[in-house]
Structure formats: C-alpha cells, structure tokens
Amino acid sequence: MNEPLLTVSGLTVRYGGVVALDDVSLRVPKGAIVGLIGPNGAGKTTMVDALTGFARYTGEVRFAGTRLDGLPAHRRAARGLARTFQSAGIFDDLTVEENILIGERSAARRFSTLRAIFGGRTEKPRAQTRRIIDLLDLGGSLEVPAGELSEGHRKLVSVAQALAGGPQLVLFDEPAAGLDSTESAWLGRQLRAVSESGVTILLVDHDMELVTSVCDELVVLDFGKVIAAGPPRQVLDDPGVVAAYLGSVTTAGDA
C-alpha cells in the first residue's frame, strides 16, 4: 500500500458527556478508497466533522505531511481536504453547472459566487472542473435545475461539487443514503472512476454492497472506537464486527 495521505492518531471528540470518538487512530493511504463503517451512532459523521474542522477534538491529524490540528474548516479545505454532507448540500433552484461551480470556489469566494449566480451573472467552470463533469458524465444535464434530478444524480452532483475544488482527499458522508441498490452500484462505479483519476477517498456508508465492492480497506467503528481494520472481506468476517452489527447490517436504501 502507498504511504498514508491522512494519519489520525488518538483522536477523541466529546459532546458534553458523550464520547463520540474515543482515541481513534487510522490511516488513509494515498490513492486508496478507505471505507469507514459502523452501526448507527458509532461516530462516523463525527470523524468526518473532526477531520474537516467542523468538530473540536483532541489528538493529531496529519494530512499530506503536515498537522491540521487547530486549523478552521476553510483552511483545511484550502489544503485539499473536501467533504460531502448527508443532506447533499445541493441548491434545488440552481442548475447542475451552477451547483458544481460553487464547489470550485474557495470558501472565501463562495458567497460572492452565489450572489453572482443568483444575480443572473453566469460564470464558466474551469478546465479542471470540465474534466470532472466529463468523468462523471454530467455534461448532458448541466442546464437542468438540481431539484429536477433523481436522488442518484443529486448525489453525483454533490460528488462533483466536492471534487471541483481540486482536493487530494474527499470524505464522502453516506453518499448512497436514499439510493436503491442499482443506483448505489452505479454510484460506486463513479467513485471508482474518481479514485482512478488520482483522488484519495474516505467513504462513510451503511451500504455493505457498496463499501465491499469499492473499498480497498475498511475501518469499523463501534461506540466511538475502532474495532477492526483491513481488507473488506476479512473485516466483515471478523466476529467482533458481526457482533457489533448484531444482524443490523443494512443494504442500499435502508440507511
């Protein structure tokens, strides 16, 4: 496996009396797709929030060789760390192209970009963003308002939005939630294409078909602790992982 792009050591997040993450360590190798899974409430979104500067933590996060601890969200994003949100973060009234364009801009410029778009002033995507649009085969729907898209395509637009800033690592928070198994498999193929284009991925999802088919490695959280990590099949056969899920493993559309 390649050298780690992201190294998390002893990360702990507390919400009042709740320890959402408890001394978690993990590595994401450069170029890999690592799946972060676990039962409801295990701490997966909290991990995404902490890494991207949306939740306070103790411990150490190293990204591309430097420590991120103490940096606010926009400075982490500027260093090449992007994320999606469970709610998809898409504006229904804007077209696919306009939604993607918002992702292209730095946090500092996002507001002025939004104002320009809502003011009717069009901006054109950069060449790099055009490549993402082609990669995800969104060229045919650029003028379509996002509110008219299927759930699967909305998720794909949020993937494109996250990629538009040219990140090194993207943290996807449940991109397959609300998708049926066909849409989820299709999304998985798009994520593979994204990975092959050179972007490293941390994928949080409940869809076991998706994570086992696209991930190189899995990390399993339970009650805020890592209980297993390694190749997908090995991890899912781990008795501790089976016990943690207690038969509650969901398939596409259940999450």
Instruction: Give whichever of 22 and 123 is closer to ligand ATP, judged by the CB atom.
Output: 22
Select from 4, 43, 125, 152 the one that contacts ligand ATP (CB under 6 A). Answer: 43
Q: Closest approach of Cβ 190 to ligand ATP, in Å?
A: 22
Please state the closest distance from residue 151 (CB atom) to ligand ATP, in A.
Answer: 17
Q: Establish if 203 lies at the interface with ligand ATP (CB under 6 A).
A: no
Q: Are 146 and 157 in contact (CB under 8 A)?
A: yes
Q: Which is nearer to ligand ATP, 136 or 221 (CB)?
A: 221
Task: Name which position in 24, 32, 46, 61 contacts ligand ATP (CB under 6 A).
Answer: 46
Q: For residues 13-42, which are near ligand ATP according to CB under 6 A?
A: 15, 18, 20, 38, 40-42
Quick check: 190 binds ligand ATP (CB under 6 A)?
no
Piece of 44-52, 148-156, 184-192, 246-254 that binds ligand ATP (CB under 6 A) = 44-52
Nearer to ligand ATP, 41 or 59 (CB): 41
Footprint on this chain of ligand ATP (rule: CB under 6 A): 15, 18, 20, 38, 40-46
